[in-house]
C-alpha cells in the first residue's frame, strides 16, 4: 500500500536544522497518499480530544503521520479541552493539523466539537495519550465500509515498556483492560479511544455525553438499540500506555465506578443493588484468576503471577471504593468529573 509519511516540523523550523525553515509540504496540506488531490474532501476525519498531555499528543501525531492510504488524504482534528499546559510547540510542529478549542469540560463534548468541524464521510476517534499502530486507519476504514451499522471498534493493546518483562499492572491491563472485543460481544458498545463511525450513525445516536458520564458506553448502547451495533475490527490496533502504578489504576477505576453508579441511579437502580454488586466485585478476583493465568496476553509465568497479585488487590479495593461511593453524594459528583483520571 503506497503512501506518504508526514514529518513534523522541528521547534526551530526544520526537521534537522536549527535555522528557520518552511514547514514540511505534506504536513501543511494534510495526511495521506502521495499525490492525493487535496482539493477533494478528505476520506476520513481523525478526531482527537486533548487535555494536558502535549508530549503524548505529539507521539500520537507521529503515529498518525505514519499512516498510509492507497488513495486520498485524511484530516486530523485536535480539540483541546481547556489545557493549562500550552500547546504552542505542538501546534508549530504540526501545521497540517486543525487545532480547535472546546470550553465545555469533558472528552465527550470535545469529540462533539470535532465532529461538527469534520469534513469527511468517515469519522475516526483516537485519544491523545494513545498510539496508532501501522495500518490502523486503513484497517478501520475498510471495516467501516464493510459494516452495515456504520459503527466499528478497533483493538486496544497495552503499550509495553519491556515486552520481555511485564509489570503486574501491565499484565493485568493486558488481560482485562480495554477489551473492546468483549465490550462489543457482551455489552453492545466499544471504547471511544479507538472508534470509527459514519456521520449518519453519529447523527442517529449522538452526541457524546458530558463529563461524569460513561460517554462511550452511553453512545454505543444507544446506537445498538437503534439498530447500529458496533462491529469489532481486530486489525485496527491502537496502543494505550499502561497505568504507571497501582494508585493510578485505582484512581481510574474510582472514576469509572462513579460514572457507572451515576448511570445506575439515573436508570432507577437502588443503592442496595449497587452494594450487592460491590460485594460481587470484591470476590470476582478469585473467579477470574484462571483467565489471567491462562491468557496469551500475559507473557511468561512471572508476569502472570505479578498480574494475579494486582487482580486480587484491585478487585478488593474496587469493591471497597464502590461501597464508599454509595454513601457519599459529594464524592459521586467530584470523582466522576475527572479528565484523564
DSSP string, 198-239: -HHHHHHH-----TTS-HHHHHHHHHHHTT---EEEEEEEEE
* Domain-located, residue 12: no
In the chain, what is the straight-line distance between the N-terminal and C-terminal CA atoms, in Å? 38
Q: Assess whether 39 and 173 both reside in one domain.
A: yes
pTM score: 0.81
Same domain as 233, residue 250 = no
Determine, yes or no, domain membership for 38: yes
Number of H helices and E strands in the chain, helices first, is 13, 9
Residues 196, 290, single domain; the answer is no
CB 290 within 8 A of CB 222: no
3 is a domain residue: no
Angle between helices 329-336 and 246-266 (to 10 degrees): 120
Render pLDDT for 127-167 as a digit per residue (tens, 0 to 9). 999 999 999 999 999 999 999 999 999 999 999 989 889 99
Does residue 259 share a domain with residue 168? no
Cell 460514572, located at residue: 259
Residues 94 and 131 in one domain: yes
For 4-63, give the DSSP string: -PPPPPPTTSSSS-SS--PPPHHHHH-EESTT--TTSPPSEEEEEEESS-HHHHHHHHHH
pLDDT digits (tens, 9 = 90+) for 110-136: 999 999 999 999 999 999 999 999 999
Query: Which pLDDT does position 259 carry in this prediction?
Result: 86
List the CATH number of the domain containing 58: 3.90.550.10
The boundaries of the domain holding residue 37 are 25-240
- What SS3 state is found at 71? coil
For 153, left (φ over 0), alpha (ψ -120 to 50), or beta?
beta
Q: Does residue 202 contact residue 111 with C-beta atoms inside 8 Å? A: no
**Domain annotation covers residue 341:** no
10 lies in some domain: no
How many angstroms from the chain centroid is the CA of residue 116?
A: 19
What does the alpha-carbon distance between residue 83 and residue 86 come to, in Å, rounded to a whole number?
7
For Cα atoms 246, 179, 308, give the angle at the middle one, nearest 5 degrees: 40
CA neighbor of 255 nearest in space, from 322, 188, 329: 322
| Sign, CA torsion 294/296/299/303 | negative
Cell numbers found for residue 199: 456521520
Q: What is the block-wise mean pLDDT of the chain (341 residues), using blocks of 10 residues?
A: 37 30 40 83 97 97 95 96 95 96 96 98 98 98 98 97 91 94 97 98 97 90 98 98 92 89 90 95 96 92 96 97 83 51 51
250 with 156, same domain: the answer is no
Residue pair 323/274 in contact by the 8 Å Cβ criterion: no
Count CB atoms within 10 A of the CB of residue 182. 11
State the burial class of residue 88 (Cβ atoms within 10 Å of its Cβ: 0-12, 13-18, 19+).
Answer: exposed
| 129 within a domain of the structure (yes/no) | yes
User: Taking a C-beta distance cutoff of 8 angstroms, is the pair 223, 200 a contact?
Assistant: no
Handedness of CA 210, 260, 234, 62 (dihedral sign): positive
CA distances from 257 to 23, 205, 214 (A): 45, 24, 10
Give how many domains the chain has, as a whole number.
2
State the residue for C-alpha cell 476525519: 45
Q: Is 64 exposed, middle or buried (0-12, 13-18, 19+ CB in 10 A)?
A: buried
Q: Where among 181, 207, 240 does a domain terminate?
A: 240
224, 240, 256 - which closes a domain? 240
Q: Residue 2 falls within a domain, yes or no?
A: no
Of 183, 206, 240, which marks where a domain is finished? 240
Is 200 in the same domain as 328?
no
Q: Is residue 13 part of a domain?
A: no
Question: 45 and 128 in one domain?
Answer: yes
182 and 153 within one domain: yes
Residues 101 and 235 in one domain: yes
How many Cα atoms within 13 Å fall on the side-chain side of residue 305? Answer: 3
**Are 287 and 317 contained in the same domain?**
yes
Same domain, 255 and 300: yes
Maximum separation of any 2 CA atoms in the chain, in Å: 66
Amino acid at each position: 500500500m503506497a503512501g506518504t509519511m508526514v514529518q513534523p516540523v522541528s521547534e526551530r523550523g526544520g526537521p534537522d536544522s536549527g535555522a528557520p525553515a518552511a514547514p514540511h509540504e505534506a504536513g501543511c496540506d494534510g495526511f495521506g497518499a502521495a499525490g492525493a488531490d487535496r482539493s477533494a474532501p478528505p476520506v476520513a476525519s481523525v478526531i482527537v480530544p486533548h487535555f494536558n498531555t502535549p508530549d503524548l499528543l505529539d507521539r500520537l501525531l507521529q503515529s498518525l503521520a505514519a499512516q498510509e492510504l492507497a488513495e486520498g488524504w485524511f484530516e486530523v482534528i485536535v480539540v483541546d479541552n481547556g489545557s493549562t499546559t500550552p500547546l504552542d510547540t505542538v501546534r508549530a510542529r504540526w501545521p497540517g493539523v486543525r487545532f480547535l478549542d472546546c470550553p465545555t469540560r469533558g472528552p465527550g463534548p470535545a469529540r462533539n466539537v470535532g465532529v461538527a468541524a469534520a469534513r469527511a464521510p468517515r469519522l475516526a476517534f483516537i485519544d491523545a495519550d494513545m498510539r496508532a499502530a501501522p495500518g490502523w486507519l486503513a484497517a478501520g476504514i475498510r471495516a467501516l465500509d464493510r459494516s452495515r451499522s456504520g459503527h466499528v471498534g478497533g483493538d486496544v493493546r497495552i503499550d509495553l515498556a519491556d515486552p520481555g518483562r511485564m509489570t503486574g499492572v501491565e499484565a493485568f491491563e493486558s488481560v482485562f483492560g480495554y477489551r473492546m472485543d468483549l465490550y462489543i460481544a457482551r455489552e453492545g458498545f466499544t471504547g471511544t479511544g479507538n472508534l470509527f463511525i459514519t456521520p449518519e450513525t453519529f447523527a442517529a445516536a449522538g452526541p457524546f455525553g458530558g463529563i461524569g458520564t460513561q460517554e462511550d458506553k452511553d453512545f454505543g448502547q444507544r446506537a445498538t438499540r437503534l439498530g447500529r451495533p458496533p462491529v469489532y475490527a481486530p486489525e485496527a490496533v491502537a496502543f494505550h500506555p499502561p497505568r504507571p502504578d497501582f494508585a493510578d489504576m485505582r484512581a481510574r477505576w474510582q472514576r469509572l465506578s462513579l460514572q457507572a453508579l451515576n448511570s445506575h441511579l439515573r436508570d432507577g437502580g437502588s443503592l442496595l443493588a449497587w452494594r450487592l454488586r460491590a460485594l460481587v466485585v470484591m470476590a470476582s478476583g478469585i473467579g477470574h484468576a484462571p483467565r489471567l493465568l491462562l491468557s496469551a496476553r500475559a507473557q511468561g509465568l512471572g508476569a502472570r503471577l505479578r498480574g494475579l497479585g494486582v487482580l486480587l488487590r484491585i478487585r478488593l479495593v474496587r469493591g471497597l471504593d464502590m461501597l464508599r461511593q454509595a454513601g457519599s453524594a459529594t464524592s459521586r459528583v467530584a470523582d466522576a468529573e475527572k479528565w484523564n483520571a
